[in-house]
Every structure is written in C-alpha cells, then in structure tokens.
Amino acid sequence: MTEKARAAKLVAPYGGKLVDLLVSGDERGILVQKAKQLPSIQISFRSVCDLELMATGAFSPLDRFMGEKDYRSVLREMRMADGTLMPLPITLPADSIDGLEIGGELVLRSPTNDMLAIMLLEEIFSWDLEQECTAVLSTADSRHPLVSEMHTWGRYYLSGPLTVLNLPRRNDFPELRRTPAAVRTLLEAMGRDHVVAYQPRHPMHRAHEVLTKAAVEEAGGSLLLQPIAGTTGHGDQEHFTRVRCHRTLIENYYDPGRTLLNLLPLAVRMAGPRAGLWHGIINRNYGADQLIIGGDPHGPGTDSRGRALYASRDVQEFFLALEDEIGVRMIPLKEMVYLPRKDRYEAADTVVHGSEEYIRVSSTKVIEESLFRGTRLPEWFTHPEVAQILYEANPPKTQQGFCVWFTGLPSSGKSTIADILMPLLMAAGKKVTLLDGDVVRTHLTKGLGFSKEDRITNILRVGFVASEVVRHEGVAVCALISPFEVARDQARALVGGERFIEVFVDTPVEVCEVRDVKGMYTMAKNGKIKGFTGVDDAYEPPRSPELCIDTVAVPPDKCARMIMTLLTEKGFLTTNNREAARQVVRQDLLPEMSNRPATGLWLERP
C-alpha cells in the first residue's frame, strides 16, 4: 500500500473522543412519541446551531449546555470545572421557567417548532449580562452585535443531559453539510496525517489560494476549508454567495485528492482572541491539527466610540500561547503581494526588499473600486468564475438598499425631516418605505404598550421590517423616538452596519415642548401620562451616529439635504441622483414654509 493510499491517522478529537448525542432506530421512535407528552420550550436559532454542533461532537468534550459550575469557571479562567480549557461559555437561555421542574424532562424545539431534543433538567441558574459580556467579549458596549442580542436573552440558563432526536433541517447545500465523524472519514481516506483548516469570512481570491496551497504543501497534508453557514459576523457576505464562490474555486483550481469543503453551522460569537481559540478546538474535532489565522480579529469592527474592539495580532498571540494545550498549531496568514510582470502572488517578506516590482493588495479597496461601482473584479485579483458570481450577487452600491433611522425626543423634528427626505430619495430613483413611529403603532405594533419591554419590541419589529426592505435593495426611512441605545444597536445589527444610517435629531427638550402640537409634554408634566420620554422617562442619545442634526440652527429642508449629501459620500447615491432631487424639496410645502415662523417649520404629524 502506498503512503497516499493508506488511511491517515488524524489528530484525536479534543478531549479524546467525539461526543455523539443522537439516537436512532426504535429508540428514537419511542422517544419521539414520549416527547409529544412533555412540556417544551422554543430555543433561538443561535441555540439551535449550538445544539447541532454539540450533538455531532464539534464542541467535544462538551455534551450539554453548561451548568453553573462550568459556566462560572469559563468566565473566570476559560476552563471548565474539571480544568479543561474552554474559551467560551455555551449556554441555553430561557425567558420563563414557569412549569419547569428540576428532575423533569422537557423538549427543545426550534423557532419553527420542530422537535429537536429532550433535556433532563438538572440546573436552572441566573446570569449577569454585564459580567458575561465583560469577561467574554471584553466590552458591554451594545454596538457589539452579540451584546445587543444578549439583551434579548432570557434571565435564566438551563442545563442537563441531552438526547437529540433530530438535527435541524438544512435545505441548502446538503452535500456539503457533514458531521465531524463524516469529515474525519473523508480526510482519513485522503491518506495524509496532517490537516490544515481555514475558515474564510469572505470569498477567497487568488492571494488566499496561493497562501492555502503553500500551507498545505509545507505541512504535507490536506486542506479543510470550513466556511461558516450558521449565524455569521457583522457585515459578512451571506453564506449562499460565499459557498458558491468557494465551491467554484475548489472545483476548478484545487487538488480534489487533498482538499475538502465543508460547511460549519456555527453561531459566531465575534469574541476576539477567545473566539479564535474556540475555532481552533472546533476544527480539531473535525480532524485538523493546524489552523490558518489571518488578519481577521474575530470581531465586529468598532465600538460606539469608533474604537477597534479587537486587533488581529491579539488573536494570533493569544492562540500561539495556548496552541500546545489545544493541540492545534497556528499558521499565521502572511501578507501577499502581486507581481504584475509574473502575474502571480508571493509572500511580501520574500520580495519587498528586492528589486522585483510588486503591488500591495487591499481586498477592500479593490472590491470598492470595482464591484461596488458595477464592474467585475479584475482577473489579477480573482478568478473569472468567482468574479462572475460576485458580480451577479452584488449590485453596485448605488443600487443597494439602506436604512435611514431617525432618533430623537418626541417633537424633535424626526417626522418633518423624514417627510421631506422621502420625495428627495424617490426623485433620485429610490424605492422608499417610510416607517413612522405613530403610523407603525396603528398597524405593525398595534397592541403594544409603552413599558420598556414593549418599546424595545416596537423598535425591533420596525428594525426587522427595515432589514427586509433593505435586503431587497429598497430604502427604509424610519422615524421613531427609539430612546434605548441597545435597541437601536439591535436594529443596526438586523439591517447591517454598513447600510444603517443613524440620524440623531438633536433638539433641546424645551424646544420640543414648544413644537408639540399634541400637548403630550403638558399632559406628562401634569401627571396625565406616565413614562413619557423627555419628562419622566430617559432618552439615551446616540454616542456615534452617522449624522447629528441641530434642528434649532438648521431648517428642515436643509437637514434633508445634509442627509442626501451623506448618502452620496457613502456611495449610496450618485451626484446625478442628488442633482435630480435638488428641485424636489416638497415644492407643495415651500411657500407655506417660507411664511411660517421658525417653530412652525417643525410641526410634527398630529
């Protein structure tokens, strides 16, 4: 038997063996019938992803959602109670524990009510949001998408042994969705003991191809390409396009005898260095003993003050310090430069001090200069097959959807500016949906009250509708008080950070009171209305909105034009778009506006 034909001896799973929580056959049939009589809870899509990876062994040695001892220990020391290194807590939040009893069984169901697993409930414990965020993410800033999401989690965590009846249904790319055991079998058949894993967040281009092939050659191993197809990071390309690009690249440019593409149904945490280490453990369970760690800091970018949450060097240094313990060697992603005379890429450290002409490549800059402007990516940057997929999936930025989200005190001028902005955008050729706070409450959120919980629900419902409008390349103009920063940040995460334009209508409360045609401020001050924002309920101003408008100094038509200018600067509008809209500042209102006193320009919708 040749060396290549023999079955490879891969690195053992983390902890020694793969966890397997699935039942089958007659046992499963009996348990399914039993489960129909048990109480049940619906778990989030994030928890569904966690359950699937736990059931199939990707989170080995973890065999349940963490109990309190393991959870507290992981927060403090990144270790489970038995000393096993585990960078992140894997927990199951619950909104309500009514009807749940320690020692009883309950069924875990998906958000669409599919039966997934039976849990023997052993623990119910409370958790502290700020403590967990600070320990795991190093920030409690709600601009971090996971922080804002955690504000919606239940107050309790549940834990206990799991019996998994069904894995979640995945209808996209079923041939690429394999368990760790199945991946290991395929890698073993390739006959190479070493496996290099790579988890690209974005479509791969020629530089990535050169780097991954070089890493595999140096290791004398196989390549496991594992893009994430669960819940991805803030601003990441949706996985359908990414997977099509990866598959095309592998089918045309990689050796099928030493390359495997597999989709990982992971709910990312964007937790910086801890997340990088966690990904190393997961890839070991799939059979990899080496992991390419690049410039991705495993985070969402910046916080609400514009500061980077994590640095790529932090991820690499943290991983390097613990790679021996997790049994996965880090391969740092080197900078690649393009040599135009030879039409190839090489590592920068091999050419930058020589006489060879080279180009430092910024993927972001190349994409912005071509794809976002409606042209295909150049062949020196990416292969034509990949360029075509990306061209079809990504309209020019001027054709992409976006959301303008007005926030401010009641009667600050949000609706007034929105009413002027809407025809400006339509004159520029945009399809606009206006989601005004008062109108929304008569339809979409009718029945909600004004408690903090209901107000957050109101904001998130509008955010969801806006995200769907934007996803289909429309424009959503939202005008709501939206007093809570965390709820606005959740709306931002729903829409996508690059497409969310937060406009703070910064108007002093005493001016708002003068403009209030409904008399709400007066009624609130007289005690006839409780919980009124600006009187007896706080408003949390944005810390870093895309635009802050002083409506005392600037009239409403100019405010709308400021927003049009900002949208042009961000690439959503062309100069021609803006010129076409120049004469459409509500011509029916201009004569009336010119005859009003300054406060009359800001009359809010009754």
Show which residues are catalytic: 482
The span from the CA of 484 to the CA of 497, in Å, is 17
- Closest C-alpha to 248, from 139, 132, 382: 382
- Closest C-alpha to 165, from 59, 358, 27, 8: 27
The span from the CA of 367 to the CA of 209, in Å, is 17
Angle between helices 312-326 and 273-285 (to 10 degrees): 40
One-character DSSP codes across 504-547:
EEE--HHHHHHH-TT-HHHHHHTTSSSS-BTTTB-----SS-SE
In Å, how far from its chain's centre is CA 552? 37
- Closest C-alpha to 243, from 258, 234, 232, 256: 232
In this structure, how many other beta carbons lie within 10 angstroms of the beta carbon of residue 9?
A: 9
Q: Where are the alpha helices (DSSP H) in 261-373?
A: 273-285, 312-326, 363-369
- Closest C-alpha to 225, from 239, 252, 207, 243: 243
List Cβ neighbours of 83 (8 Å cut-off, separation of 6 or more).
Answer: none
Spatial strand order of the sheet with 547-550 comes to 432-436, 475-479, 402-407, 500-506, 547-550
Sign of the alpha-carbon torsion through 444, 448, 451, 457? negative
The span from the CA of 265 to the CA of 261, in Å, is 13
Pairing of strands 259-261, 222-225: parallel
In this structure, how many other beta carbons lie within 10 angstroms of the beta carbon of residue 40?
A: 17
One-character DSSP codes across 480-500:
-----HHHHHHHHHHH-GGGE
In this structure, how many other beta carbons lie within 10 angstroms of the beta carbon of residue 13?
A: 22
- Burial string for 535-548 (b: 16+ CB within 10 Å, else e) reads bebebeebeebbbe
The span from the CA of 117 to the CA of 32, in Å, is 9
List Cβ neighbours of 347 (8 Å cut-off, separation of 6 or more).
Answer: 211, 214, 334, 335, 336, 337
Q: Please tell me the number of Cα atoms within 13 Å of 501 on its side-chain side.
A: 23
* Helices and strands of the chain, counted as H and E runs: 21, 20
List Cβ neighbours of 540 (8 Å cut-off, separation of 6 or more).
Answer: 483, 484, 485
